[in-house]
C-alpha cells in the first residue's frame, strides 16, 4: 500500500473513531486490501454542491466522520459570515439507508456549534427543504441524499439563505473551511441539543398551499378532475407529498404504484432509482397500460426529478425525455399565462446550456426572455435572485428531468412539477388533444429538435485522470469535422471563450467558469462534453434539428435525426 494511504489508515486506527469503523478497517486489511486502498486513497471531495459517494469506512466514503467534517466546516463558515447574530439552518433527508442517521448527525453538529436547527421529523423531498429555508428565514440548510444514485450511495447537499445550492463565492469559501478541518477531533458531535426544533406537518401544509397557488387553470382541472393519473415514487420521498398535492389541485383519479410506494433505501424493484431510466419506470408503465391511463409520472428518491410517460401518435406508451417534457411544460406555461391574461411583459424563463434550444425558439416567438445558465439548478436560483424586482421568473428546467415552477422554491421540484404536468395533460385533454400530438404540433411550428445523452463512467483511481485527459484533448485539438459537417464554433466555458474555428474570431463567455465544451457544427448540430461534478463520469449531450413540414412526415424526420446523432457518436468514437 502507498505510504500516504497507509498513514491515513493508521490515523483512523489510532484516532478517535468508533470500534465498528476500526474493526471494518482491520477486516479489509485482511480480506480486501484493494477495497481498503479505494476507501483511503483520497479524501471525499466536498464540491460546489456538497458531496456524494459510496457509503462505508474511510476518507473516500460517506460516513459519520466525513459527514461530520463537512458539517463542521459549513458551520464554521456560517459563523464567520454571520458573526454573533442568530444563525438558523434547516436539515432534511431522503429514504436512503443511513440518511436519518446522517441528518441527525448533521443537526447535532450544527446545534453543538450554537446554531439553531430545524430538523424534519422524518423523510421529506429536497424541494421542501429549499422551501423551508426560505419560509423560516434560515441562513443555510442541508439535505442528506444521493439523489438518483444506486442504493450503495449517499450524500450531502448544502444550501444558502435563498434556498438555492451554494454558488460563488460561498461554495468555494465553504470548501476552504471544510478542507481546513484536519481531523475528526475538531468536529463538535454533541452538545447544544436544545438548539434543535423538529418540524413536519405544519411545513407540509404551507408547502402544499404554495404549490396549489401555482395552478394556472384550476377551472380546467375541475372539468377533467378524473384524469387517469398513475404515479410512482420509486421507493422515495415523493410518496410523502405528491398524493396530497394532486388532491389539493383537484385530481380525483390517482393510482399509486403499490410495488414502489413504500420508502426503501434498498430500492428492491430497481437498480437505478431514476425516472430517466426505463427500468425504473417499467412497473408504472405496465400499470398505466393496464388502466389505460392518461399519464404516468415518477419521481426519484429525493423527489427533485420527474419523469413522465404518455401515449405517442401511434397509441403506444413512450417515456418522454427531459427535453421533450421541458418543451411541453415551458410552452404550456407561456401559452396558458397569455390565454389567462396574466402574462407580464417582464416574464422570463430559464434553462441550462445543455437543454434543448427549442425552448429558446418558443420563448423568442412569444416575446418572453429566455436565459441560458450553467448546468445545475443553483444557477437558475442565482439568476432569479439577480433579476428579482426587475424580471418575473415563471418556469425553469434542465434536460436531466428537473423543473421548477414559480420562485418560492429555489431548486428543482418534482412535487410541484407532477401537479403542473398533470394540469397540462388535463388542459390538452379538455381541448381533445393528446400531449404527444401537442408536441408534434410544436415541432412543426418551431422546428424538430432531437436530443440524446451518453454517460461514460471511468471508475477507480485512474478514472478521473482519463476524464481529464479526454477533455484536455478536445480542448487543445478540437476536431475539424464531425459526421461530415465542419465544426464552426468551439465554446469553452472553462476558458470562458467562444471561438469561431473558421475565422479565428473569438468573444468572451460571460457565464462563470465550468469545465464544459460545446461544438457547434455547420448543420446546426450541437455536441456538449461535461464531466460530472458528483460522479466519475463524463457526459456527452447531442442536439440536432431540422424542419418538420407535417405530422405525416414525423416518423421519417425522426429517423433522419436519429441517424444524424448515431453518425456523430460513431465519428467521435464514443461507442
Query: Which residues make Cβ contacts (< 8 Å) with residue 386, sequence separation at least 6?
Result: none
Residue 162 lies in a domain: yes
**Does one domain contain both 274 and 396?**
yes
Q: How many CB atoms lie within 10 A of CB 484?
A: 12
Taking the CA atoms of 105, 108, 114 and 116 in sequence, report the sign of the dihedral they define: positive
Residue 15 lies in a domain: no
**Does one domain contain both 61 and 195?**
yes
Which of 418, 446, 474 is where one domain is finished?
446
313 CB burial (10 A radius; 0-12, 13-18, 19+): middle
Residue 178 lies in a domain: yes
Q: What is the mean pLDDT of residues 389-405?
A: 97
- Looking at residue 543, what is its pLDDT? 98
- Looking at residue 466, what is its pLDDT? 87
**Does one domain contain both 332 and 469?**
no
Q: What is the mean pLDDT of residues 43-66?
A: 92
- Looking at residue 184, what is its pLDDT? 94
Residue 18 lies in a domain: no
CATH number of the domain that residue 309 is part of: 3.40.120.10
* pLDDT score of 274 more than 70: yes
**Does one domain contain both 63 and 177?**
yes
**Does one domain contain both 303 and 405?**
yes
Q: In sequence order, what E strands does 305-424 have?
A: 306-311, 317-319, 347-352, 369-373, 392-398, 402-405
* pLDDT score of 534 more than 60: no
- Looking at residue 533, what is its pLDDT? 63
Residue 490 has phi, psi (to 5 degrees) of -125, 120
- Known active-site residue 147: yes
Q: What is the mean pLDDT of residues 546-574?
A: 97
Which pLDDT band, with edges at 50, 70 and 90, does 460 fall under? low
- Looking at residue 440, what is its pLDDT? 98
Q: How many CB atoms lie within 10 A of CB 365?
A: 11
**Does one domain contain both 163 and 272?**
no
Measuring CA to CA, how many Å separate 49 from each of 113, 188, 365, 559? 22, 23, 35, 38
How remote is the C-alpha of 50 from its chain's centroid?
13
* pLDDT score of 536 more than 80: no
Measuring CA to CA, how many Å separate 229 from each of 216, 269, 422? 19, 21, 8
Q: What is the mean pLDDT of residues 181-196?
A: 95
- The β-bridge relationship of strands 497-500 and 485-492 is antiparallel
**Does one domain contain both 101 and 122?**
yes
* pLDDT score of 1 more than 80: no
Which of 446, 476, 508 is where one domain is finished?
446
- Looking at residue 461, what is its pLDDT? 63
Q: What does the buried/exposed string (b/e) look like for 430-464 if buried means 16 or more CB atoms within 10 Å of the residue's CB?
A: eeeebbbebbbebbeebbbbbbbbeebebeeeebe
**Does one domain contain both 416 and 273?**
yes
- Looking at residue 187, what is its pLDDT? 97
Q: Which of 99, 130, 147, 528 is catalytic?
A: 147
What whole-number distance in Å separates Cα of residue 197 and Cα of residue 129? 14
Q: What is the overall mean pLDDT for the chain?
A: 95
* pLDDT score of 425 more than 90: yes
Which pLDDT band, with edges at 50, 70 and 90, does 174 fall under? very high
**How many domains in the chain?**
3
pLDDT digits (tens, 9 = 90+) for 195-224: 999 999 999 999 999 999 999 999 999 999
Q: How many CB atoms lie within 10 A of CB 471?
A: 19
Degrees, nearest 5: CA angle 327-352-378:
120
Would you tell me the crossing angle of helices 64-82 and 99-112 to the nearest 10 degrees? 40
Task: Tell me how long the chain is.
Answer: 575
- Looking at residue 535, what is its pLDDT? 65
- Looking at residue 237, what is its pLDDT? 98
Which pLDDT band, with edges at 50, 70 and 90, does 45 fall under? confident
Query: Which residues make Cβ contacts (< 8 Å) with residue 476, sequence separation at least 6?
Result: none
**Does one domain contain both 442 and 452?**
no
Residue 25 lies in a domain: no
Which of 404, 425, 446 is where one domain is finished?
446
Q: What does the buried/exposed string (b/e) look like for 100-111 if buried means 16 or more CB atoms within 10 Å of the residue's CB?
A: bebbebbbbbbb
- Looking at residue 189, what is its pLDDT? 97
Residue 289 lies in a domain: yes
- Looking at residue 465, what is its pLDDT? 83
Residue 357 has phi, psi (to 5 degrees) of -75, -5
Report the percentage of the chain scoring pLDDT > 70: 99
pLDDT digits (tens, 9 = 90+) for 296-339: 999 999 999 999 999 999 999 999 999 999 999 999 999 999 99
**Does one domain contain both 256 and 337?**
yes
Q: What is the mean pLDDT of residues 381-397?
A: 97
Contact between 71 and 116 (Cβ < 8 Å) = no
Q: What does the buried/exposed string (b/e) look like for 210-242 if buried means 16 or more CB atoms within 10 Å of the residue's CB?
A: bbbebbbbeebbeebeebbbbbbbbbbbbbbbb
Query: Which residues make Cβ contacts (< 8 Å) with residue 290, sequence separation at least 6?
Result: none
**Does one domain contain both 106 and 156?**
yes
Q: What is the mean pLDDT of residues 134-163?
A: 96
Which pLDDT band, with edges at 50, 70 and 90, does 537 fall under? confident
To which residue does cell 434536460 refer? Answer: 399
Residue 3 lies in a domain: no
* pLDDT score of 365 more than 80: yes
SS3 content of the chain, % helix, strand, coil (to 5): 40, 20, 35
Output Rg (C-alpha) for the chain, integer angstroms: 24
Q: How many CB atoms lie within 10 A of CB 98?
A: 17
**Does one domain contain both 144 and 271?**
no
Residue 22 lies in a domain: no
Q: Which domain holds residue 66?
A: 42-199
* pLDDT score of 94 more than 80: yes
Amino acid at each position: 500500500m502507498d505510504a500516504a494511504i497507509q498513514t491515513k489508515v493508521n490515523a483512523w486506527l489510532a484516532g478517535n473513531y468508533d470500534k465498528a469503523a476500526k474493526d471494518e478497517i482491520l477486516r479489509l486489511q485482511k480480506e480486501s486490501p484493494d477495497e481498503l486502498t479505494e476507501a483511503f486513497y483520497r479524501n471525499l471531495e466536498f464540491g460546489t454542491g456538497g458531496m456524494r459517494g459510496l457509503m462505508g469506512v474511510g476518507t473516500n466514503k460517506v460516513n459519520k466522520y466525513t459527514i461530520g467534517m463537512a458539517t463542521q466546516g459549513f458551520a464554521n463558515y456560517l459563523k464567520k459570515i454571520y458573526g454573533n447574530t442568530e444563525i438558523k439552518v434547516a436539515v432534511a433527508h431522503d429514504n436512503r439507508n443511513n440518511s436519518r442517521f446522517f441528518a441527525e448527525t448533521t443537526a447535532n453538529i450544527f446545534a453543538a456549534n450554537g446554531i439553531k436547527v430545524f430538523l424534519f421529523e422524518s423523510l421529506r423531498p429536497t424541494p421542501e427543504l429549499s422551501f423551508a429555508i426560505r419560509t423560516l428565514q434560515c441562513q443555510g440548510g442541508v439535505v442528506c441524499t444521493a439523489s438518483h444514485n444506486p442504493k450503495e450511495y449517499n450524500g450531502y447537499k448544502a444550501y444558502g439563505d435563498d434556498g438555492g445550492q451554494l454558488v460563488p463565492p460561498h461554495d468555494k469559501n465553504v470548501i476552504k473551511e471544510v478542507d481546513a478541518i484536519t481531523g475528526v477531533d475538531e468536529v463538535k458531535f454533541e452538545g447544544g441539543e436544545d438548539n434543535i426544533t423538529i418540524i413536519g406537518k405544519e411545513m407540509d401544509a404551507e408547502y402544499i398551499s404554495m404549490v396549489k397557488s401555482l395552478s394556472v387553470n384550476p377551472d380546467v382541472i375541475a372539468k377533467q378532475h378524473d384524469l387517469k393519473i398513475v404515479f410512482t415514487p420509486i421507493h422515495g420521498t415523493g410518496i410523502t407529498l405528491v398524493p396530497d398535492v394532486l388532491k389539493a389541485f383537484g385530481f380525483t383519479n390517482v393510482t399509486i404504484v403499490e410495488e414502489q410506494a413504500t420508502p426503501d433505501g434498498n430500492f428492491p424493484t430497481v437498480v437505478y432509482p431514476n425516472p430517466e431510466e426505463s427500468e425504473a419506470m417499467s412497473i408504472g408503465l405496465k400499470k398505466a397500460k393496464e388502466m389505460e391511463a392518461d399519464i404516468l409520472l415518477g419521481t426519484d428518491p429525493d423527489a427533485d426529478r420527474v419523469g413522465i410517460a404518455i401515449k405517442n401518435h401511434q397509441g403506444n406508451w413512450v417515456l418522454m425525455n427531459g427535453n421533450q417534457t421541458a418543451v411541453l411544460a415551458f410552452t404550456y406555461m407561456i401559452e396558458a399565462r397569455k390565454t389567462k391574461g396574466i402574462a407580464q411583459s417582464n416574464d422570463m424563463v430559464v434553462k441550462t446550456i445543455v437543454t434543448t434550444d427549442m425552448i429558446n425558439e418558443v420563448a423568442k416567438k412569444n416575446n418572453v426572455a429566455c436565459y441560458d445558465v450553467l448546468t445545475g439548478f443553483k444557477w437558475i436560483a442565482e439568476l432569479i435572485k439577480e433579476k428579482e424586482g426587475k424580471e418575473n421568473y415563471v418556469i425553469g428546467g434542465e434536460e436531466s428531468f428537473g423543473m421548477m415552477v414559480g420562485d418560492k422554491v429555489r431548486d428543482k421540484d418534482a412535487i410541484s412539477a407532477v401537479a403542473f404536468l398533470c394540469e397540462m395533460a388535463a388542459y390538452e385533454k379538455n381541448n381533445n388533444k393528446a400531449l404527444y400530438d401537442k408536441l408534434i404540433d410544436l415541432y412543426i411550428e418551431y422546428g424538430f429538435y432531437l436530443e440524446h445523452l451518453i454517460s461514460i463512467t471511468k471508475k477507480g483511481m485512474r478514472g478521473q485522470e482519463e476524464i481529464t485527459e479526454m477533455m484536455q484533448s478536445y480542448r487543445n485539438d478540437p476536431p475539424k469535422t464531425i459526421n461530415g459537417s465542419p465544426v464552426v464554433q468551439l465554446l469553452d466555458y472553462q476558458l470562458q471563450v467562444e471561438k469561431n474555428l473558421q475565422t479565428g474570431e473569438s468573444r468572451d463567455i460571460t457565464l462563470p467558469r465550468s469545465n464544459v465544451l460545446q461544438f457547434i457544427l455547420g448543420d446546426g448540430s450541437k455536441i456538449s462534453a461535461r464531466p460530472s461534478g458528483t460522479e466519475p463520469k463524463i457526459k456527452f449531450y447531442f442536439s440536432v434539428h431540422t424542419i418538420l413540414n407535417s405530422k405525416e412526415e414525423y416518423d421519417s424526420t425522426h429517423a433522419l435525426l436519429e441517424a444524424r446523432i448515431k453518425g456523430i457518436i460513431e465519428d467521435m468514437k464514443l461507442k
